[in-house]
Amino acid sequence: MRLGEGVEWTLHCCLTLGWLETDEPVSTAKLAATFDLPPAYLNKRLQTLVRAGVLSSTPGARGGFRLARPPEKITLMEIVAATEGAEYAFRCTEIRQKGAGAERPAHEFQRQCVITTAMRKAELAWRRELASQTLADMLAAAPVAAAERTRDWFDRVG
Amino acid sequence: MRLGEGVEWTLHCCLTLGWLETDEPVSTAKLAATFDLPPAYLNKRLQTLVRAGVLSSTPGARGGFRLARPPEKITLMEIVAATEGAEYAFRCTEIRQKGAGAERPAHEFQRQCVITTAMRKAELAWRRELASQTLADMLAAAPVAAAERTRDWFDRVG
DNA sequence: CCGAACCTGGACATGTAATATCCGGATTAT
DNA sequence: ATAATCCGGATATTACATGTCCAGGTTCGG
Ligand code: SF4
Ligand code: SF4
């Protein structure tokens, strides 16, 4: 099991947007330069965050992205779900109904089996943990120097 | 993020081996037939469980697989980690050290950043949940009819 | 002792999803 | 008007999971 790199990218971008206390939107190009990422593809991931309501975008010259809400109202779960999809990591393909189970009537399989129950329980614990942490929490936990350096860098590259 | 189908396969196989209270090893061919899975590939996944110490195998005619330990001593975490790998789902590629961070000395990045900390915390909750559930728990939670049907089927196919 | 039924592991083929690039269209500041 | 920027479809590339095949070893039963 592996989370896509996009998650790392979008989390970093949200953190960066939180550190820059400006109201100005930040363009894909600048964010991509900040982390040395492919601009076109990063833009796609940012778009998904816009659709998910985490970011808001302004088109046109001097346009870009900004947080759609204050950081206290953005959970890590939202960011992760937006970039990685909201589906469960464990997806049952009902193999119990194949082979030995194929001879039995379908109504026997209505109830969710113990495997799905167990896996889902674990996944809910994961989600609960991510939902309990907000972007504001991360901003507060990070060393202040990191925020300052980010602001400095964005000042310099204009 | 998505768990491979192998997890579903191996969990089902372990459950099946737990239901058959026999001491006889069960061959890959029988397990594959039970769930209509590709035998050669299923065998590979079972081999990884053997290496992980979850199953034990006996070669030769009338050989096959059996649980290496009583079900009370086998956690879901072991089975999942064995088939899916023990690495973390979120893997940091240190993009903070690229772009804006490239100009700064490496020693500034020794400490784990807030993103990794947060993601790891969630993942540990997931693992803890999986580690807290044993194969015996699942065997007990499943309806007795399921166990009986499994035994019946294995009796019939010999 | 022989052959059939098994596991083991390497090499290879296939399929699918994530990553990455490209482009034409729409919107906005200067 | 021009340049900067977001939007999203089409397409290419890459990585990885899935799947097949085969050439070894074991063990059982005759
Ligand atoms: S029995 Fe459970 S794990 Fe297996 S296929 Fe059905 S729902 Fe999925
Ligand atoms: S800053 Fe954190 S999330 Fe980003 S690359 Fe480094 S460890 Fe990973």
Q: Is the pLDDT of residue A106 over 80?
A: no
Ligand number nearest to the C-alpha of B120: 2
* DSSP type of residue B71: G
pLDDT at position A131 is 98
Q: Does residue B158 register a pLDDT over 80?
A: no
Q: Which residues contact A158 (CB under 8 A, 6 or more apart)?
A: none
> Quick one: average pLDDT of A36-47?
98
Q: Answer yes or no: is pLDDT of A17 > 80.
A: yes
Strand locations in chain B, DSSP E? 55-58, 64-67
In the predicted model, what is the mean pLDDT of chain B? Answer: 95
CA of residue A5 to ligand 1 center, whole Å: 29
The share of chain A scoring above pLDDT 70, in percent, equals 100
Query: How close is the nearest chain A Cα to the Cα of B142, in Å?
Result: 6
A2 to B91: CB separation less than 8 angstroms, yes or no: yes
DSSP codes joined into one string, B98-132 = SGGGGGS-GGGG-SPPHHHHHHHHHHHHHHHHHHT
- Render pLDDT for A70-90 as a digit per residue (tens, 0 to 9): 999 999 999 999 999 999 999
Whole-angstrom distance, CA of residue A79 vs CA of residue B149 = 44
Q: What is the count of structural domains for chain A?
A: 1
Work out whether the CA dihedral B19, B22, B25, B28 comes out positive or negative.
Answer: negative
* C-alpha R_g of chain B: 20
Tell me the CA distances in angstroms from B24 to A106, B40, B82, one per residue in order: 31, 21, 23
First to last CA, chain A: 39
Mutating which of B114, B117, B123, B155 best tests the A interface, going by the most A Cβ atoms within 10 A?
B114
What pairing do the DSSP bridges indicate for beta strands B64-67 and B55-58?
A: antiparallel
Amino acid letter for position B11: L
Residue A70 exposure: Cα atoms within 13 Å on the Cβ side: 1
As a whole number of angstroms, the longest Cα–Cα distance in chain B is 70
Q: What is the structure's pLDDT at A51?
A: 97
Q: Could you give phi then psi for residue A152, rounded to 5 degrees?
A: -55, -50
Per-residue confidence (pLDDT) for residue A114, from 0 to 100: 96
The pLDDT tens digits for B71-121 are: 999 999 999 999 999 999 999 999 999 989 888 887 878 888 999 999 999
Domain range spanning residue A53? 5-157
pTM above 0.85, yes or no: yes
**Helical H segments across A20-134, by residue range:** 28-35, 39-51, 76-84, 114-131
Band of residue A105 on the pLDDT scale cut at 50, 70, 90: confident
Average pLDDT value for residue range B4-14: 97
* pLDDT score for B107: 82
Q: Nearest residue CA, atom 8 of ligand 1?
A: A92
Give the CATH number, domain containing residue A28: 1.10.10.10
A19 to A8, A152, B98, B100, B107: CA distances (angstroms): 17, 11, 18, 14, 22
Task: Indicate if CB(A27) is under 7 A from strand D.
Answer: yes
